[in-house]
Amino acid sequence: MKKKQLFLLHFAGGSIYSFDFLEPFPVDFEMISIELPGRGKRIKEKLITSYVDAIQDMYKQISNRLNGEDFIIYGHSLGAALALGIEDMLEKDNKFSQCVIVSGNAGPGIKREKNRSSLNRNDFITMLKELGGLPKELLESEELLDFVLPILRADFKILEGDFLINDIIIESPIIAIMGDEEKEINKINNWKKHTKSNFKSYVLKGNHFFIYNNVKELVEIFRTSYHENKSLI
């Protein structure tokens, strides 16, 4: 029997394994992690640095995996920025998600520190530490840093291209989630202007990677968002 689908879009530096922490909390969805080239199972592929290339890559993956049942798109941080562009492409192809759930991101059009991808090594690492989410053993290993920093720089370069979706307004509802310690928490309602349908926001406790400490709450938001928006699309 086919199940409704939940597509998971990773954060900067993430991979197909980034949402493994959700597995102990089953939802009534087939959970499908989507990853960009250059990491995880696609480690041998060339990294992408273009926002347009990134959404086209993920759009193809999602489009090819759709099973005809209802589906939701969820993205965290970089994944949130990509989710809006991907949903726009899907809708132009007459494929509509029940809702788009975005977290750790106040949406396109927000003025941020520019060109974070080109910071020198020390400043780039300092910025990553401020965001949180990187394990201590990684930060203390030059070898591991040499491996992951190019991936992170490529992903931040992608994120710097999210101005391309400043004017996108999708048909599907948007649900936005942020941590109460995030710098741009007061701008979470920026997402509201990017949907013609329902909008709802949640604030959970934590920093940019609050998702790890709020797994039950996150899963409940998935369930609630689906049922609240099931009849809209």
- More confident of the two residues 88 and 123: 88
User: How far is the CA of 183 from the CAs of 70, 127, 194, in angstroms?
Assistant: 34, 13, 21
pLDDT value, residue 133: 66
What mean pLDDT is predicted for residues 96-116? 87
Tokens (6 digits) for 5: 């689908």
Burial class (CB in 10 A: 0-12, 13-18, 19+), 23: exposed
Q: Residue 126: pLDDT band by 50, 70, 90 thresholds?
A: confident
Burial class (CB in 10 A: 0-12, 13-18, 19+), 117: middle
Most confident of 93-97, 122-126, 142-146: 93-97
pLDDT tens for each residue of 180-218: 999 999 999 999 999 999 999 999 999 999 999 999 999
Residue-level length of the chain: 233
* Three-class DSSP labels, the chain: CCCCEEEEECCCCCCCCCCHHHCCCCCCCEEEEECCCCCHHHCCCCCCCCHHHHHHHHHHHHHHHCCCCCEEEEEECHHHHHHHHHHHHHHHCCCCCCEEEEECCCCCCCCCCCCHHHCCHHHHHHHHHHHCCCCHHHHCCHHHHHHHHHHHHHHHHHHCCHHHHCCCCECCCEEEEEECCCCCHHHHHHHHHHECCCEEEEEECCCCCHHHHCHHHHHHHHHHHHHHHCCCC
pLDDT tens for each residue of 9-33: 999 999 999 999 998 777 789 999 9
Whether the pLDDT of residue 231 is over 70: the answer is no
Crossing angle between the packed helical segments 51-65 and 142-159, to the nearest 10 degrees: 90
CATH topology of domain 5-229: Rossmann fold (3.40.50)
**Alpha-carbon span 181 to 184, nearest angstrom:** 9
CB within 8 A of 146, min separation 6: which ones?
A: none
Every domain of the chain and the residues it spans? 5-229
